[in-house]
Amino acid sequence: MTFSVDELIDEEQTSSPPSTASATSSPSTEDGPITAVLAAFAAMLGARIHSDGRVTHRCIFHKEKHASAVIFGHGAYHCSGCTVSLSFQRLLATPEVRNALGDDVVDAALTARRNSLTASSVHEPRWPTSLGPAAYHGILGELVRFIEPHTESDPIAVLVQAVVAVGNFIGRKIFIRVEQTRHFLVLFVILVGATSKGRKGTSWDHVLRFFPMSADTWKEHRIMSGLSSGEGLIATVRDRATRDAEDGAPPPEPDDKRLLIFEPEWARALRTLEREGNTLSAIIRQCWDTGNLRVMTRKDPVAATNVHVSIIGHITRDEFRKYFRDTEAANGFGNRFLLACARRSKVLPFGGSLSANDMLPLQGRLDEVIEFVETLDPDDAEVTLGSDARDLWAEVYPSLSEGRPGMVG
């Protein structure tokens, strides 16, 4: 695959050059092909190789004599003149570089780079810091603490899935206002396990046991799996067709617009997004943004209004790295999801010892919450921040709302 200079500038110009300190590590003897590329650049453009591993020379793209272009060790190419910042692989993929250095030199360097990355990936990355006690507030925190001694599941897996499930069951009755936009209890969560043995599935089973009998219809009919297309998702929560105007009868009551999508194999959903013409990504974003869904690409357009769709997906870390594409990061699909790392918390050879009767007190507490919510006026059920929460939000809001490239943004 090749990229034109203009495409590369547009895509990469916001990248920051790495610091000099990050490029001072000594290359190993296996990095000979990479060193050869650096030397070839030096010879080609009359450059100098510095003791810290930097190579400075005229930019290979715009050739201006007074522009400083630097290759930082094995990491990136950066030019202060035309603001091009490229990864090592993309630098070697440009026609200018490949034509100048030759296929043999470039291919050998790319192979050495891939081997280097593979070797470094063996080291286990640092696991995220556990949540503090404040995260386990209220009845959902009580649920996590109650079942924690009886399960191998990660407490965070139980907590975040319980938050999603309760929010979906309550529906579009409680909201927080941001300017003039109402944000209901809609949450998309992806549990990322270090391995397939992260006990993500058992954590979901505990969450389902938490719901009382009054939620049986919701559990049976409004929790579904099998995402495949945007049209299919809309059909599940679509508006009922109004009757013929000559009938004179009023339109029927709308169907239940709540839907909790539970996908234990989220990698399959990510692969679905890659199909040409698939509208699933756009429709999922509409679910999060407004709850009003529509596809206009068919003769008989389907629509759904005021839907309340929540998502829980399970995936391993390796699957996420493999199937989550740059497109999903760039188009806003990815940053609508809360990613939570989950792993086995302990080893229980014989499982836990919780019975159905043990859950009854917590189920009764949740029933009380549900009954209270039913008494609320949906037009006046706004959740507001207390004074301490407002001060904290004002402190973190500037950095959280600042635009950033890629998944973080």
- Every domain of the chain and the residues it spans: 5-120, 135-242+253-401
User: Among 138, 164, 137, 156, which Cα is nearest to 369's?
Assistant: 138
The SS3 of residue 63 is coil
101, 104, 109, 115 alpha-carbon torsion, rounded to 10°: 170
Backbone angles phi, psi at 348, to 5 degrees: -120, 95
The SS3 of residue 135 is helix
Give pLDDT tens digits along the chain (409 positions).
333 333 323 333 333 333 333 333 333 444 566 666 666 665 665 566 566 555 566 666 665 544 455 554 444 566 655 555 566 666 777 777 777 777 887 788 777 766 765 555 555 667 888 888 889 999 999 999 999 998 989 999 999 999 999 999 999 989 998 888 889 999 999 999 877 666 667 889 999 999 999 899 999 999 999 988 888 898 888 887 643 444 555 545 457 899 999 999 999 998 888 787 788 888 999 999 999 998 776 566 678 899 999 999 999 988 888 888 766 665 678 888 999 999 888 888 877 788 888 999 999 999 999 999 989 888 888 999 999 988 998 988 888 777 665 555 5
User: Among 183, 36, 194, 66, which Cα is nearest to 127's?
Assistant: 194
d(CA 375, CA 381): 10
| The pLDDT value given to residue 299 | 62
What is the total residue count of the chain?
A: 409
**Lookup: tokens for 268:** 């399959």
Q: What angle, 0 to 180 degrees and rounded to 10, lies between the N-to-C axes of helices 138-147 and 360-374?
A: 160
**Lookup: tokens for 146:** 């109650």
**Lookup: tokens for 245:** 């105007």
**Lookup: tokens for 175:** 């909201």
Residue 294 β-bridge partners: 303
| The pLDDT value given to residue 352 | 77
- Strand positions, DSSP E, 10-136: 48-49, 54-57, 69-72, 76-79, 85-87
- Strand positions, DSSP E, 52-201: 54-57, 69-72, 76-79, 85-87, 175-178, 181-184, 188-193
Q: Is 73 left (phi over 0), alpha (psi -120 to 50) or beta?
A: left
Cβ–Cβ < 8 Å for 255, 240? yes
d(CA 1, CA 159): 44
Burial class (CB in 10 A: 0-12, 13-18, 19+), 15: middle
| The pLDDT value given to residue 14 | 35
The SS3 of residue 259 is strand
Q: Which long-range contacts (CB under 8 A, 24 or more apart) does 320-325 make?
A: 320/190, 320/192, 320/267, 320/270, 322/267, 323/267, 323/270, 323/271, 324/270, 325/270, 325/273, 325/274
Element holding 169 (H helix, E strand) = helix 155-170
| The pLDDT value given to residue 24 | 33
| The pLDDT value given to residue 346 | 85
CATH code of 135-242+253-401, in short, is 3.40.50
Residue 57 β-bridge partners: 69
User: Among 161, 259, 261, 265, which Cα is nearest to 210's?
Assistant: 161
Element holding 387 (H helix, E strand) = helix 387-401
User: Among 340, 334, 11, which Cα is nearest to 161's?
Assistant: 340
- Strand positions, DSSP E, 227-365: 258-263, 293-295, 302-304, 308-316, 338-342
| The pLDDT value given to residue 98 | 77
